[in-house]
Amino acid sequence: ANLTAMHAARHRWKVVNGYTKQQQQQKQHNEYRQWLDNINETSEEVEEEKKLDDMTLNKHINAILSPPSQKKQQQQHLYITNNSADEPQYDLVAFVSSEAHYSFAKSARVLGLREDDLIVIPTNADGSMNVEALAKSFDELECELEQIVREEDGAVVRSNSDVKRRRRRVPFFVACTAGSTVRGSFDDIAKIVEVCRGYESRQPSFKQHYERSIWVHVDGAWGGSAIFSSRNEIRSITHMDEIRHADSFTFNPHKMLGAPQQTTAFIVRHRNGLREANAAGAKYLFDPRKNGAEYDLGDLSYTCGRRTDAVKLWAMWKYYGRSGLGSRVDQKVDELECFVKEVRKRRNTFALACRPWPFNVNFFYFPPRIREVLEQRGILRPVVEDDTSGGDDENSF
């Protein structure tokens, strides 16, 4: 699901900036017509040129859009290009937190992103993404791009190789985590979306050759099932009501809800977004004339034939209802709250490793001999027997 989100984000960026075939054809058509008009204004000798029929014009466009050589195809993973010598090339950059799932690193490799184009944003003390650090990273990329543009506008370019080495890096994807694997932390989705939309609408102080487009994805594989909870305090701390601001969202009912393995839900805001990004349109298989063609999802993802995962979620939802699924989530929260209380009662042998989140509790167990050594070295403070307050989140440190 995370790979699908990143792939859809890249496709949308390409569409917005005219890198798809349809957009290229329209752009080349307009440029060619403009070229004819400009020539006609300065010379009468090209009068016949302007009378080119549509067939000749299409041949001209197809020649420009001819498939690249095999060598060029092998290099396309390095950067996004619209095959125009006058247009700059851009390297797309994705952002994840240091608590994000490792699948984002794998997804970046599959999509051909450079290693340093997957930027890891540090987290706050509670494990949530540091939104200020994210905004700062956007600013750093913009300053980097502005410096390149100003240098090229004001200096003599030595060679074409010098131009190719100048990497214009632009954001296109930000991943929010809704329930990290270890801590169970939740990112502040609303603030992250606000930073991304603010960056998109901000006017740069330099000449910009691209349209800003950032896809915000919420990876709720573990904690996303909290969306079924009806408790305001749970929905607030997990930021479930803020998912509506994101571009896509995924969660795994086989984890928290106990659905059969494997069950994954992927929800996307943009209608036909997955079809436009993935569809190959094989006529022998995806014929729009067949009965029920609109329900055939085989061309919406990388895989074609697959298990009916949706039926598992549908059956659970149908049987338990939303309130029943929500009760399962709430029960887990209540059980972990009781567990935290028991850990704090046994401060002589247990200690919380970090702030507990609704669905994850990290703790240490210290055998008496080990605890005595740690207290002697000042790593743990001695426990006062009559102290029953329970302490703070890190009560034994």
Mean pLDDT of 346-352: 87
How large is the average pLDDT for residues 102-127? Answer: 95
326 Cβ contact list (under 8 Å, min separation 6): 228, 229, 230, 231
Residue 302, C-beta contacts closer than 8 angstroms, at least 6 positions apart: 3, 4, 278
Give CA–CA dist 234/252, Å, rounded: 18
Band of residue 118 on the pLDDT scale cut at 50, 70, 90: very high
Overall average pLDDT of the 8-27 stretch: 74
The pLDDT of residue 152: 73
**Which of 89-103, 114-128, 141-155, 356-370 is predicted least confidently?**
141-155
What per-residue confidence (pLDDT) applies to 394? 45
pLDDT score for 76: 41
Q: With 80 as the cut, is the pLDDT of residue 164 above it? A: no
8 A C-beta contact, residue 198 and residue 226: no
Q: What pLDDT score does 31 carry? A: 57
Return the closest-CA partner of residue 131 out of 92, 101, 97. Answer: 97
Q: Which of 103, 24, 27 is nearest to 68 (CA)?
A: 24
pLDDT in tens, 351-394: 899 999 999 999 999 888 888 888 888 887 776 655 444 444 44
Tokens found for residue 376:
């002697």
What is the per-residue pLDDT across 195-252, written as a single tens digit (0 to 9) for each?
A: 999 999 988 777 777 889 999 999 999 999 999 999 999 999 999 999 999 999 999 9
**What distance in Å separates the CA atoms of residue 224 and residue 246, rounded to the nearest whole number?**
13
Hey, what long-range contacts does 325-329 have (CB within 8 A, 24 or more apart)?
A: 325/225, 325/228, 325/257, 326/228, 326/229, 326/230, 326/231, 328/228, 328/256, 328/257, 328/258, 329/225, 329/226, 329/228, 329/229, 329/234, 329/256, 329/257
Query: Rounded to an integer, what distance in angstroms lies between the CA atom of residue 262 and that of residue 303?
Result: 15
Helix boundaries (H) for the chain = 2-16, 21-42, 54-64, 70-75, 103-110, 131-154, 160-165, 189-201, 232-237, 253-256, 273-278, 309-345, 368-376
User: 71 pLDDT exceeds 80?
Assistant: no
Q: Is the pLDDT of residue 89 over 50?
A: yes
Per-residue pLDDT, averaged over 86-111, amounts to 91
Give the confidence band of 69 by pLDDT, cuts at 50, 70, 90.
very low
| CA-angle at 21, arms to 15 and 23, nearest 5° | 50
Considering only CA atoms, which of 175, 179, 155 is closest in space to residue 166?
Answer: 155
Selected residue with higher pLDDT from 135 and 292: 135
Per-residue pLDDT of 260-281, as tens digits, reads 988 999 999 998 888 888 888 8
pTM of the model: 0.78
Query: For residue 112, what pLDDT is reported?
Result: 93
- Output the pLDDT for position 392: 46
User: What confidence tens digit (pLDDT) does each residue in 299-331 have?
Assistant: 888 888 777 888 999 999 999 999 999 999 999
| Nearest-angstrom CA–CA distance, 169 and 366 | 48
At 15 the pLDDT is 87
* Per-residue model confidence (pLDDT) at position 395: 39
d(CA 29, CA 34): 9
**Contact predicate 396/375, CB 8 Å:** no
Q: How far apart are CA 177 and CA 68, in angstroms?
A: 38
Can you tell me which residue has the tokens 């009501």? 241
274 close to 300: Cβ distance less than 8 angstroms: yes
